[in-house]
Amino acid sequence: MADIVVKDLAGLARDLSDLISQFEGALDFQDEFKGQWGQLNANLSMGDFADNWTGSRDKMVEAMKKFRDSVEGADQAWAEAEAKMATSLEEHK
């Protein structure tokens, strides 16, 4: 029977947390560059884009948080199962 290999779910969860932080911090950049796009119509267009992006970004952040939580749960469940299997093997020696 082939071994099941699970690699670094905790690392994936950390990477997702970093991405979430970056996405949540994107609002800071939006405010920082407000009004610096030249002509009025360019500034208005960038403002519209930023407003639409905010709604989309919020949805993506929520989805990433749910995924991260699932990955953390899978990591914890895997660690517990692996510990139980190791204990079982030791008991049956």
The mean of the pLDDT values for the chain is 82
7 vs 58, which has greater pLDDT?
58
The domain segmentation of the chain, as residue ranges, is 25-69
Answer yes or no: is pLDDT of 2 > 60: no
Q: Which has more confidence, 28 or 75?
A: 75
Burial of 74 (0-12, 13-18, 19+ CB in 10 A): middle
Does the pLDDT of residue 37 top 70, yes or no?
A: no
Model confidence at 35, in pLDDT bands (50, 70, 90)?
low
Q: What pLDDT score does 41 carry?
A: 76
User: Of 14, 25, 5, nearest to 68 (Cα)?
Assistant: 14
